[in-house]
Every structure is written in structure tokens, then in C-alpha cells.
Chains A and B, each alone.
Chain A
Amino acid sequence: MRHDQPSQKRRAKDLGRSYGIVFTKVARRVHRSPKVMKEPAAGSVRAAGRSPDNSHERAVREGRRRRRRRHLSAYYYVVPAVILVVGMFWYSIIVTIEISFTNSNGLSSPHFAGFANYSAILHDSALSTNVANTLIWAVAMVLLPAGIGLIAAIMVHGKRGGDLFRSVFYVPYAIGFVTTGVIWSFLFGNNGLSELFGALGLHSLASVQWLNEVPLNTYSMIIASTWQTMGVDMLLFLVGLGTIDRAVIEAASLDGASGWRMFRHMTFPLLTPMTRVIVAISIVNALQAFNIIWVMTQGGPYGSSSTFAVWTYQESFELFKMGYGAAISVVLTLFVLIVSFGYLRRSLKEATA
């Protein structure tokens, strides 16, 4: 892809030169880029029968013209994608950064406020709760769904009946975040699990207000989220396990490796690429956790279970402090970009390869 661009530039330069030079250059490049050869060739086929020297020249010129026309029309193909992404997302990013430096509140016309919003974040009493909760989510989403998913994948892998377990663990993912939030709001509510704990004689558990006590409300939502996402992480690890060469594992088992030793020294290191992907996705998703929290507690009570994503939304759309909300989302974005930097660089490297 990249090495194709200089050759196109060269082709443009060639336009001013005599066709003979162009043609040899084109011919030299044939083995690399068959497309370059084809158009003059097709032109000369059509022009066959006329006087040889004249037709050749005309064919090359015609081919060049057609190539240029096709080249231009090829840009139409990317127009919708570029307009949508630039018009919606690049525009939004620039505007968000711009708004974050104003006192926009949706009522009076906004004024430039410098770094006032950013310093206000630092002095906001809600900052520590939001940072703590966001970090708890990030760590928990790696340890629980991804961790349990890994264990489940290893247990299920290659077992008879594994398919049944796979489907069962996968159901909550098919159910979706919001529905998961609704189901667990019911279970953690007054007519939910506490009735069950009461009936089982666990009275200390029966009186717990799962979604109202701090920090229990965050942990309760993490349980719901784990229930929902573990299945996908398991499936991803199973995909990873499927790519491990059976012969390597068999060789290790002939050498006496089994159980924990096999996992620690063979399976887990071989899973590293997949593990890295899952950890990165889990952290990035956790930093943006919104749906389940919004459905189950709306960040409450009194902001005690809020995260950065919920905080941004509330400042912008409930308190209409859009400048402040925008500044919070810029800070969140910085965190996300830092975490995903290494991961993105790798995926881009793969995309260019």
C-alpha cells in the first residue's frame, strides 16, 4: 500500500515525457503492479489494425486518460465514509475541546473561560469518587470477567459437553447491557435476592441494600457486568486456545508437564497475544462504563457510584454545564488514549502490514 504511492507520483511525472520512456517504465513495473500494465494493453488491443506507430502512441495516451479519469472517480467511493466520520466525529472532537474552554451552559451565550473548567475538575469534591470508581471498574473488569473467562475457557476447552457450557455462559452477552442492568436491578432490589437470602437464613445478607450502600453499589454492578461479559472473554480465550499448536502441548505433556505447570509455562505464555487484546479491550470498555450504571443507579445515591462517563453525561445533560461536561470528557479521553496507545499502535502496524 505505502510503497505504491511513490510509484504513483512517478507515474504522474512520467506524463510529460515521451511515451517510449513511459512504456518501458510501466513495463518494468508490471511484475509489481499488474494494473499499471493492463490499461495500455487493453487500449492497444482495441486499436489493433491501425498503423503500428500511431496506434501505439494513441493507445498509451488513451490509457493514461482513462486511468486518470478512473482515478478521480475512485475518490467518490470514499466520500460517504469520510464525510460521515469527519462531519460527525472529527467535528465533535474539535467542538468538544473548544466547548471545554468555555462556560457554555445551554442558556446564555458561552464565553471563553480558559482552563477554568479543568481547574474546577481538580477542585471538585466529586473527582475522587469518580476516579476511584473508574479505576475500580477498570481493575475489576480485567480480574473478573477476563479472569473467570480464562479459567472457564481452559475448563471447557476440548471437553465433552463443552458446547453446552459455552452457550450458557454466552447467553448474558446476547441479552445486552441495558437488559442486564434491568435484570440485576430487580435481583438487587427489595423484592430480589434479599428474599432468597432471608429464606436461606442468611439474615445479615438479607438486609443489605445492594445498590444503596457505598461502596457495595459499585461492586454489585460489577457483579452484573461480570455476569454479562464473562462469556465473550471466554469465547475469545477459546479462539486463542484453538490457535495453539497441538503438537507443542503434546510435546510438553510427553515431557511430564500437566495441570498448573502446563498452564503456567506453556498455555498461558502461548495465549499472550489474545490476553493482551482482551485486557486492553476490557480496560477501555471499563473506563467508558455507562449503560449498566445508568440503568441500575444513575451514578447514585448522591454520585457515590458515578464514573467519568456518567459524570460527563450528568454535568452536560442534567445540570446543563456543557463546558464542564466537555472538559470531563476530554480528561476521560486522555485516559483512554493513554491506555489504548500501545494496543492501537500494534493494531495499526498489523493494518499496514
Chain B
Amino acid sequence: MNTGVLLKAPPDESSAPADSRRKIGRSNGRVIIYAVLTVAAILWVLPVWWTVIDASKSTSDFFAHPFYDLPHEFNLFSNIATAWTNASLGSGFINSILYGVVGAGASVAIASLASYAIVVLRIRGGFTIFLIVFSGTVFPLQMYIVPLFKMYNSLGLYDTRIGLFLFYTAVSVPFCTLVLRGFYSTVPREYREAALVDGVSEARILGKIYVPLSRSAVLVLFLFQFTWIWNDLLFGIVLSASPSVRPVMASLSSLLGVYAGSSLPVVLSGALIAASPTLFLFFGLRRFFVQGLTLVARRG
């Protein structure tokens, strides 16, 4: 109890001024740090601010005045309406919500089953199977575009929602398996033993014991995979062509191509639409995202 007191240096006349000098130095440092952080924060916020105000301008207003001026009339909703309907961002938005929810959900479920078999049921060759599944995260995605394009064409999956849903599920499974495998191995085996004695089936044990106990990991994985799918551009443009199938980022990218010269405010309002779900998720569930980042970090 007294060790803290014992370790402290005995009070000393000369230390007082030195101490206060250090304190002043430290508070100066603090002021500098806050100043630097504030400047950086302004630099980080300004692009968002400009996007919001310019997305609210009418096209003529945008071209008549500098971009950093406040809008003279509030046109945000009509810009959003234009981007949503005329530029088919709306269908992309709905498609991507669908791909994100179904793809992330399916991949978490599939990875959950695989992890359960590998670490809980301890199937023979389980580690090899894990390596096979995990290998899906190792190669750069560019390796997949040409064969998938050809395969999708020959199987009639090209430019279909099912095709994109299958791809997004497949691409999310390996990482989910890596994480859930880790989580399921920490669940005490006695829970399963007890449930088995009571005659509970394996599938119910997975659903009623393992998934609830790994709730935070499952939620984080869902959010991360949803975000990944939402932000995908490459496979959206490789595996689909029509607006009724294309995901949101492919629509946004073509919106930029079509409207950049004629009406930038429409493009910027489209950017706001495309960013809104992930912004909402990140700030609504920020705690989970920080947890998720530690999962990603642990991946290394």
C-alpha cells in the first residue's frame, strides 16, 4: 500500500521550479498539438463541407459563382431527385442495399457453418479445408476478373442479380471464416457437451450457443462485409451492365462520366446519396467498427 509513497522522490526545494518549467513546456506543447490537430481537422472537413454546399446549388448558380460560396437557392432535393431517377442511381442504391444485406448475411452464415465444422466438430483435414477457404483473401482481385467474366457469360450469370450476389458472398466468406474460426475456438467446449447430452442437435448448438456468444464478432463481420460490398466498383463494372443490376458505385461512377461537364451539383448530390448508408452505419455503430478494426489488425 505504501510502495507508491516510497517510490516518490522526497520533496526537494530545487525540484519545484524545474517542475513548473516542465509544466509550462508541456502546456505549450499541448497548445501546439491542439493547433495542429485543429488545422488538420479543418483540412479534413472542408472537402465534405464543399461537397454538401455544392450539392445544394442549382447548376447555373454553381457555374456563376465560386464553388466555395454558399448556395443562393437551396436545390439539394431536386438534385437528388435528378440523380436518383434520371441517372439511375436509385436502382443502384437499392441493388447495393440488397447485395450488401444478403451477401454479408449469407457469407457470415456460410463461414459460421464452416468454422463450426473445423474448430468445434474437428473434422479430419479441417486445417487444410481452412487453408483452402482462407486462400480466397490472398490473391489480388484482378486475378479473378477475366475468368469470372467468361464464366458468368457462359453460365448466364452475367448481368444478373444472382450472379453479383454469388460473387459478393464468395468474396466475403474467407475473411469471415478466419475471424469466426478464432472466435468459436474460444467458446468453452463444455457448453456443447452439455447440450449434446440433452439431445440438442449440432445445428441448434451452433445457432443457440456459438452464434449468440460470438454476437459482437458476427455483427462486426456483417458491417464490414456490407461496407466492402457497398464500396465495390470493380466487380460491379465487370460482371454487370444494365442499370437494373449494377451496384451503386458503378452507377455513381457512370453518373460522374455523364454529368460532370453539364451538372456537377447533380453528381455531388449523387455522391452524398452513395455515402449516406456507410456514414450512417459508421457513426451509428462506431463502437463496433473500432472493434472490427482490431479484428482486421489481428488478421496480421
Q: In the complex, how many residues of chain B place their beta carbon closer than 8 angstroms to a beta carbon of chain A? A: 105
Q: Give the one of A85, A191, A259, A322 with max B CB within 10 A.
A: A85
Which of A209-266 touch B at CB < 8 Å? 227, 230-232, 235-236, 239-240, 259
Q: Is the pair A185, B122 in contact by a Cβ cutoff of 8 Å? A: no
Q: Which of B45, B170, B178, B202 contacts A85 (CB 8 A)?
A: B170
Residues of A whose CB lies within 8 Å of any CB of B are: 1-2, 4-5, 8, 34-35, 38, 42, 70-71, 73-75, 77-78, 80-82, 84-93, 95-96, 99, 152, 155-156, 159, 161, 164-165, 167-179, 181-187, 189, 191-192, 195-196, 199, 227, 230-232, 235-236, 239-240, 259, 273-274, 276-278, 280-281, 287-288, 290-291, 294-295, 308-309, 312-313, 316-317, 322, 325-326, 329-330, 332-333, 336-337, 340, 343-344, 346-348, 350-352
Which of B266-286 touch A at CB < 8 Å? 267-268, 270-271, 274-275, 278-279, 281-283, 286
Q: Chain B at the A interface: mostly helix, strand, loop or mixed?
A: helix
Q: Is the pair A167, B283 in contact by a Cβ cutoff of 8 Å? A: yes
Q: Is the pair B44, A38 in contact by a Cβ cutoff of 8 Å? A: no
A118 CA / B224 CA spacing, docked (Å): 37
Residues of A within 8 A of B267 (CB): 182, 186
A164 CA / B149 CA spacing, docked (Å): 44
Residue interface mask B78-113, A partner, CB < 8 A = 1:
000000000000000000000000000000001101
B42's closest neighbor in chain A, by CB? Answer: A168
B162 within 8 A of A: no
B116 within 8 A of A: yes
Given contacts A74-B123, A80-B113, A232-B293, contact A333 B140 (CB under 8 A): yes
A-B contact pairs, 9 of them (CB 8 A): A34-B190, A88-B171, A99-B146, A179-B271, A181-B253, A185-B260, A186-B54, A312-B142, A348-B134
4 nearest A-B residue pairs (beta carbon): A277-B300, A77-B117, A174-B282, A95-B147
Residues of A within 8 A of B74 (CB): none
Distance in angstroms from B31 CB to nearest chain A CB is 12
Which of B247-270 touch A at CB < 8 Å? 249, 252-253, 256, 260, 264, 267-268, 270
Residues of A within 8 A of B189 (CB): 34-35
Given contacts A182-B268, A186-B268, contact A38 B193 (CB under 8 A): yes
Given contacts A1-B119, A152-B37, A235-B290, contact A85 B174 (CB under 8 A): yes
Q: How many A-B residue pairs have CB under 8 A?
A: 305
A4 CA / B274 CA spacing, docked (Å): 48
Residue interface mask B225-255, A partner, CB < 8 A = 1:
0010011011000100000000001001100
